[in-house]
């Protein structure tokens, strides 16, 4: 594992930042799912789509991954 991480050039700070970003994406996904309860699925999808359009591509992909992960639960 250490060699794999070293080969990718990830430092301890980089790994911490990645973990924090994934945690933030998970929290955002949870908040988005909470809004689903108060609106219909179609309206919720439109809202999520418009919110994701405002985000950076990296954050957008991380939140989408978190939403998909939570949908599978």
pLDDT digits (tens, 9 = 90+) for 2-11: 556 555 667 8
Q: What does pTM read for this prediction?
A: 0.65
Closest CA to 29 of 51, 57, 6: 51
At residue 3, the pLDDT reads 52
Residue pLDDT, tens place only, 20-56: 888 989 998 888 888 777 788 788 888 888 988 998 8
Would you state the structure tokens that stand for residue 12, as one six-digit string?
Answer: 């301890």
Distance CA 61, CA 57 (A): 6
Residue pLDDT, tens place only, 55-70: 889 889 988 888 888 8
Percent of the chain as helix, strand, coil, to the nearest 5: 80, 0, 20
């Amino acid at each position: 594992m250490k060699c794999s991480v070293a080969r990718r050039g990830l430092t301890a700070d980089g790994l911490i930042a990645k973990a924090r970003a994934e945690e933030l994406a998970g929290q955002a996904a949870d908040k988005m799912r909470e809004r689903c309860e108060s609106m219909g699925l179609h309206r919720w999808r439109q809202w999520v789509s418009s919110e994701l359009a405002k985000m950076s591509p990296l954050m957008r992909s991380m939140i989408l991954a978190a939403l998909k992960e939570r949908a599978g639960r």
